[in-house]
Amino acid sequence: MNKRQEQKERTREHLIQVAFEQFSENGLTSTKTADIAAAAQVSHGTVFSHFPTKEVLLETVIEEVGSKIAKRMHELAGKSCGMKEMLEAHLKGIAEYEDFYIRLISEASLLDRVSKNTLIMIQSAISFHLIQVAEQGMQRKKIKQIPLPFLFNTWLGLIHYYLMNKELFAPKESVISTYGAEWIDYFMNLISLEEGGNE
């Protein structure tokens, strides 16, 4: 890679990072490419030379965030971890991008089809790993026999309810830092066949 290509790649990564910050702070639908260009201290044309539309830039940011959230879960899935560890990994992944993730789930219905599909693929990857661990727990008689989609949707519904109501539950704090351990304990007690729900 020559110096020009390296510079172009650095600019692209910088734009993704600044876009992530702007989307997190101002919203996915209300942030404009001009806002991103100004915050990145580049021309408006520079944004479009890397990303032909705002939608493409947003899709790129969603993919980056989603892959990082799913990565830790994927690593754990190959190590025969328990459900509690998998839930902790899921929350840890989201916590790193909490403000953006809240915007993403709150504004999901307003996104274009490609961004919606990207979000669905991320949730599918997370679901796959959680369900894989749940099946192992059920086979070992550590987790109740619960329909797997119901198990995943109950977990996701729990955390999404709190995250989407951040102003009610933790207006000036991280919702996950404040409630994450409690969610995991509650969910483990709900699904576990063992006293204390530590599977």
Which residues are within 8 A (CB) of 175 and not within 5 positions of it... i.e. 6 or more apart?
A: 98, 102, 162, 163, 166, 169
User: Taking a C-beta distance cutoff of 8 angstroms, is the pair 176, 94 a contact?
Assistant: yes
Residue 89 φ then ψ, to 5°: -65, -40
Query: Is 81's pLDDT higher than 90?
Result: no
Convert the pLDDT of each residue in 124-137 to its tens digit: 988 988 998 999 99
162-177 confidence digits (pLDDT tens): 999 999 999 999 999 9
